[in-house]
A and B are shown apart, each in its own frame.
Chain A
Amino acid sequence: MLVINNLSVSIDGKNILKGINLEVKPGQIHAIMGPNGSGKSTLAAVIAGRDFAEVTEGTVTYFGRNLLEMAAEDRAKEGIFLGFQYPVEIPGVSMVNFMKTAVNEQRKHKGLEPLSASGFLKMMREKKEMVEIDSKLTNRSVNEGFSGGEKKKNEIFQMAMLEPTLAILDETDSGLDIDALRIVANGVNKLKRNDNSTIVITHYQRLLEYIIPDVVHVLYDGRIVKTAGKELALELEKKGYEWIKKEIENLN
C-alpha cells in the first residue's frame, strides 16, 4: 500500500528525515515511536501532503503511484487521512458544512452522487454513535472552543466519516485522560478492516495497549533505528529511549 524508500527531508535547510524506509501492507497497524524531535510529525505531514518541507531524496509510493506529486486534497480523496496532533480551530466554518463538503468531494472522486441532506445527517448520526462523540460538538464551528479531548475525538469522528484506506494518527493520545483514550482507541479499532491500514505515532506504549500494532518502529534522529513486533513497545516503556540512543552511539 505505502512504500517509503530512502526518504530524506529538510526544513529550512536542516535535515529532519535522513533516509526513511518503511512499507505498510493492507490490514496492518504500524506504530512509530521515538523521543521528541526525532521527526515523527514531519514524516506524518509529508505523507499527508503538507508542503512546508523539502524532499531532498527518496520516494513515497501509494498503491504504486508517486504520492509526492499529488496535492494534499487528492491524497485525501485517494484514502489518506491524517489525525492531527494539534487539530486547528476554524471559527465560522460549521462542522456540518465542513464534513458535508469533505464527504461529497470524496464521493465525487469515486463517481458517486452527493449525499442527500437526510442521508448525510443519518450518516453523521451513525458515526457519532460509533465513535461516542458528543452530539452537540457537530453543531459548532470546527474545533472552536473544543477541549483537548474533544478535539482528538473529533479527529476520530472525521476518520469514521471519511473511512480512509491509510490513516496516520499523529500523537492522537497526547493530552487524553484514560476514558478519552479508550474512546479514541475503540473508534480506531471499530474502523479497522482487512483492507485498510493505520500508522499510529506515539510517545507512549499506553495507547498500544488498546490498539495492538503488528509492527513497531523506533524513529530517532530522522532514521528508523529499530523495527520489531509489539513487544518492542513494552521494552521501550520499561527502559525508555536511552538504551536505543546508546546503541546508536556505539554503532557510530
Chain B
Amino acid sequence: MAIELRNVSLRVGAETHIYETDLSLQPGQFNILLGTTLSGKTSLMRLMAGLEKPTSGELWMNGEEVTGIPVQKRSVAMVYQAFINYPSFSVYDNIASPLKVAGLPKDQIDAKVHEFADMLQLTPMLHRLPDELSGGQQQRTALARALVKGADLVLLDEPLANLDYKLREELRDELPKMFADSGATVVYATSEPLEALMLGGYTATLNEGRVVQFGETSRIYRQPDSLEAARVFSDPPINTAAIEKRGNSAYLSDAVSWTVPAQLASLPDGRYSIGLRPHHLLPHGSGVEVAGEVQIAEISGSESIMRVNIEGNNWVSEAHGIHSCEFGERMSFFFDSSRCLYFDSNDKLLETQV
C-alpha cells in the first residue's frame, strides 16, 4: 500500500507533536521511523492508523484520501511495545481472533492459524495462555495476530524494546523475512540506530516532531543531509567539531590540519563543521593524528568505546576488539580525513563524494 502524508500536523492543546510533514512511504517495504523518545514516532503511527486525526493536512492511501476514516475501516494492524494479547484466550484463539471477526469459515481460520503459528514458531504453544509464555513468545503471538489479518499497513511501535538483548537480535533477523512475502507496507518505530541498520529498508530520521530525512536506510546513514540527521542516526554519538578552512586545508586547531576534498577547496574560507563516525576514529592506524585524555573506556562485547577530549571536543572512538586504558591516560587516535562529513554554517551537508 502506498501511504502519503501531505502537510500533516498534530497539535494537542498548546503543544505541537508533529510539525507540518510531507512523507511518502515505500509500498511493500520496511519503513523505519528512527528517533529518540518524544521525537514523534508514535504520533506519526497513530496518525497513519487513524487513531489520531491530524490538526492540518491530508492522509492518502493508494491514491485515495482517508483523512477522516476511522481505524476500523482501514486495513491496518498494529503491534505495541507492551505485549498485548487477550489474556483468557489461548495462543490459537488469539491468532484466530481477527479472522473470526472478519467472519471467515472455520477450516480457513484453522489453516491460517497453523500457517502463521508455524512461521513464528508458536505451533507447540497453540493451546497455552499468554501468561504461560515467555516475553518473546508473547510478542510473537501479537505479531502473528497482526500478520494473519493480511493488513495492507502494519505498524510496529518499538515491538522489541521489552525483550532480552539476544531475543531482540533473533527477532530482528526474522522480522523482515516474515513480512517479505506479505506485500504489506511495514512501519517500524525504533530509537536504536543499529536496529534501523539491521532491518534495512527505508528510514525516516525524526527529531522533535519533524521528519529530518527519508530514504534508503544505508544511504541515510552514510549521507545524512544535515548535522541533525547525522546525530539522530548515530549511537554512540557522531563526533563533531568546528573547523577553520583556509585554502585547501582544514584546521581542527593550529596543530592539527589536513587537506580537504576538491569540491570543498573551491568554497570560501571560514568556519565549517565536520562529523566523524566513532568507528572512523581509531587508537591505531594512520591518517590524521590527534591526542587527548581518555575519560572512559566501555566494552560492548566485540567492540570498545573510548571517550576522549580532543582539542576541546568530546569525541568517541569505537574500535574492534577489547582495548583497556586508564582513566585520564593521554592517548593518540587516528582518522582518515576522507571519512569526514563536512557541513556548512547552517549545518547542511556539503557534497564531497562523487
A, B assembled together:
no
Interface residues of B (CB under 8 A from A): none
